[in-house]
Structure 1
C-alpha cells in the first residue's frame, strides 16, 4: 500500500453519507486529511473531504484505489464485503477496525451468536434457518407478539416485522430467506439506551456518556444525555462495552443499543462505527465520537469523553413531503433558536423519513427532573418548526 503525498496523515472512508461528512469535519479540526469512496459526487461527505474515489462502496477495486491514496481505511457502516476486503488486508492494507473484529458484527444474527458466546445479556432468539412452527409451540415461554428481524441491512425500522400470531409467522416464512432472518422474544422495556465506546491502538478504552434514545415509528426522534438511570446500570453498560471491544481486539468507535426494564439491561444491537445517538458529543463532550475515530486511525492522542455541560439534547431532522422553500424557511427558524447547533447534511433528496440533519443544544439544569423538563421544552420548540413526520 502506498502512502499519499499529502503532508498530513490521510484516512480513507468507505462511504459518503453524513457520518463520513462529520468524520471529514473532525479530520479538518485535527489536521488529518480524509478521502471518501462513494458513488455520487453529490453525497454529503464529498464537499468536506480532501479527495474522492468515485465508486460504489461495495466495489473492491474502488477500495483498492482508496488504499493507494491513503494510510488506512475505515468505514461509514458495517455492510461490507469482508471476504473481498480480506484480499486487500492480506496485501498490506490497514483497516480500522480490523476486519476480524468487524466480522462478527456485520449482521444481527452473527451479533446474537457472539453475545451468546460471551454470555452478554440480550433478548432470547431463534434462527429461522432450521425453524419449524412446531418448534415454537413446544417453547412454553415463547408467546406472541414476537419480533422478526433481518440479519442484514436493517436500520430505522427497516428489516423488522411484528409477528402477532401463527398466521403472521407463516407469511414471514413464505416471504423471506430463512437463513437471513431470526425471531426474538418481545421485550417490554422502560427505556432505550445507547453507549458509544472507543478503543485506541494501545488498548485503552473510553466510554462516552450513556444516553437515552426516544423512537417514533422505529426511527430515532431525539436523544437525551446523560441517561436518567441508576449508577449500577451505567456501570454494567460500560462493562459490557469494554468486555466486547477487548474480546474482539476492536479498534475505533463502536455503539451498543440497549433495552432496559424488568428484564434488566439487554443488548439490542451493536454498530461497529460512529452512531446517531452520539452526534451530540460534537458540542456536548470534550471530544466527539468523530474525533475519536480520526485520532485513533491517525495515531494521535485521544481526548476525554466527559460532558462539558450538565446535559444535552439532540433532535433528528427527517425528510417530509414538501417544497424546497419550506425546508429553507424551517432551517432559518431553527438557526434563530438561542444556543441551538444546526447540522445540515446537504443530501440530494428530501425523502420522507430520511435523516437530513440534526440539532443539538446543551442543557444547563443540574437536577435530573429539571433537566428533562428543559430538554422537553427544547424538543417542543424544535418540533413546532420541524415536525417528526
Structure 2
C-alpha cells in the first residue's frame, strides 16, 4: 500500500464504514499524511461528511458496498455495529482492517467473554440466556447483584438491566426478554470495582504492538464522562493490563487501534469488553501523546511504521454529552484543546470533548478545577482531581 511520496505517486483513499465523530477525527488525522477518505453512512447528516466525501447507503446493500469498494484502496470502520457480513463481503475486493473475525467477536458479548476466558484473561462470571427458565438458573448460579445484557447492539449502557435481587428476574425478562431471539442475552456477575481502566493499543500489519499509557475512566449513566492519562497505577497492574491487550491482539491477528476496557477490584483486573476501533478513552492522545490513536490507526491499516505512543505530560479528556458548554474556559488554559463534532444537540448524544494537558499532575488538577468552576462542571472534574491528589 503506497501513500503519496513513498512507493508511488498515487493518492491512497481510505474507506470508512460509519460516519460519526471517530471517522471525522480519523479523516482530520489523515490529512497531513496526504490521504483521501470516503465515508459510507446511511444518515445524510453524519458528521464525518463535513470533513470527507460521503457515500449515502446502507451497510448491507451490495450495490452501495460495490460502489464504495470501487473508490477505495483499504477499508476500516468507526463503530463496532457495522454488520460483520459487510466487512466480510468487502474483504474479497479490498483489504479490510481490523479483520471481520475481530469485528464479529466484539459484536457478541458471549463470544467476547468466551475468548477472554480461553486466553486466560480474568472475567466476571457469565452465562448465555435464551429463556426465562435459563435466566432463573443463571441468577441462581451467578448470584445477585448481576446484569442482564443483550449480546449484540448494546453500547453506552443501553440494552442492560441490573438485577439487585432474584425478585428482579421478571422485570429483567420483561425489559430484555423480547430481544432474546434476535440479539441474544447474557447474564454477567456484577463487579464491585474501585476503578475503571482501559488499554488503548495498536497492532500493525507486521505484528508490531504498541500501547498508550493506561487510562482511567469515569462514567455517568453508562456514558464516558472523563478520562485521565497516564492513570496513576503501579507497575505490576500496568504490565498486566498491557499483557492482556497484547494477548488479545495476537489471538485475533488484529490490525489497527483497539481498546480493552477493564475493571480493577482489589488490585485484580477483570476484562469488561473490547472495542475494535479507535476509542473515546483514547481521545486524549490527539494532544497528549507523541502520536494520536487516529494517526496510528491509519498507519497500521496502511502498513506504515507505527508512531511512538509516549505521553506528553498529563492529560484529561472531558466528554460533552447532550450539548456543548462555552469553549472559552477551556481555550483560556495553556493546555486546553476543544473538539466540536459538528452535531446538533440531543440528550445523551456525544457532541464534543475537551482535553486539558499539563506538564505535572498538580498543574492539570489546577486547570481542571478552574474549568470545572467556570462551566459549572465541578461534579465532572472532581473525581479526576481527587485521583491526581
Q: Same fold (TM over 0.5)?
A: yes
**Which has the larger displacement, 241-250 or 129-138?**
129-138
- Within 2, Cα distance between the matches of 1:218 and 1:133? 23
**Which has the larger displacement, 196-205 or 38-47?**
38-47
Residues 374, 108 of structure 1: CA spacing in aligned structure 2 closer, same or farther, 3 A cutoff? farther
Alpha-carbon shift at residue 165 of structure 1 (Å): 2.2
Specify the alignment match of 2:118 in structure 1.
117
Q: 5+ unaligned residues in a row in structure 2: which ranges?
A: 381-389
- Within 2, Cα distance between the matches of 1:306 and 1:71? 30
- Mapping for residues 29-44 of structure 1, pairs under 5 Å: 29-44=32-47
- Within 2, Cα distance between the matches of 1:12 and 1:45? 12
CA contact (8 A) 2:259 2:275 kept: yes
RMSD of equivalent CA atoms: 2.4
State which of 339, 345, 354 in structure 2 corresponds to 1:350: 345
Secondary structure (helix, strand or coil) at the match of 1:92 reads coil
Alpha-carbon shift at residue 136 of structure 1 (Å): 4.2
State which of 11, 20, 39 in structure 2 corresponds to 1:8: 11
Specify the alignment match of 1:204 in structure 2.
208
State which of 363, 377, 381 in structure 1 corresponds to 2:369: 377
Alpha-carbon shift at residue 284 of structure 1 (Å): 0.5
Q: 5+ unaligned residues in a row in structure 1: which ranges?
A: 321-326
**Which has the larger displacement, 287-296 or 102-111?**
102-111
CA contact (8 A) 2:330 2:371 kept: no
The alignment status of 1:335 with 2:331, answered yes or no, reads yes
- Mapping for residues 134-283 of structure 1, pairs under 5 Å: 134-136=136-138, 138-139=140-141, 142-175=142-175, 176=177, 177-178=179-180, 180-262=184-266, 264-283=268-287
Count of residue pairs brought into register by the alignment: 369
Q: Describe the superposition over 1:270-327 as per-residue Cα deviations: whole angstroms up to 9, x where unpaired.
A: 0000000000000000000000111122222221000122x1010011115xxxxxx5
CA contact (8 A) 2:14 2:76 kept: yes
CA contact (8 A) 2:149 2:186 kept: yes
Alpha-carbon shift at residue 375 of structure 1 (Å): 6.1
Alpha-carbon shift at residue 169 of structure 1 (Å): 1.3
Secondary structure (helix, strand or coil) at the match of 1:161 reads strand
- Within 1, Cα distance between the matches of 2:98 and 2:106? 11
Residues 263, 186 of structure 1: CA spacing in aligned structure 2 closer, same or farther, 3 A cutoff? farther
CA contact (8 A) 2:321 2:347 kept: yes
- Mapping for residues 285-324 of structure 1, pairs under 5 Å: 285-309=289-313, 311-320=314-323
Alpha-carbon shift at residue 263 of structure 1 (Å): 6.6
Q: Describe the superposition over 1:247-270 as per-residue Cα deviations: whole angstroms up to 9, x where unpaired.
A: 111111110110001271011110
State which of 274, 283, 288 in structure 2 corresponds to 1:284: 288
- Within 1, Cα distance between the matches of 2:374 and 2:77? 31
Secondary structure (helix, strand or coil) at the match of 2:298 reads helix
Displacement over 3 Å in runs of 4+: 57-60, 331-338, 370-376, 385-388
The alignment status of 1:71 with 2:67, answered yes or no, reads no
TM-score by structure 2 length? 0.88
Q: Describe the superposition over 1:9-55 as per-residue Cα deviations: whole angstroms up to 9, x where unpaired.
A: 11100011100000000110221111101123432111211x22111
- Within 1, Cα distance between the matches of 2:139 and 2:352? 45
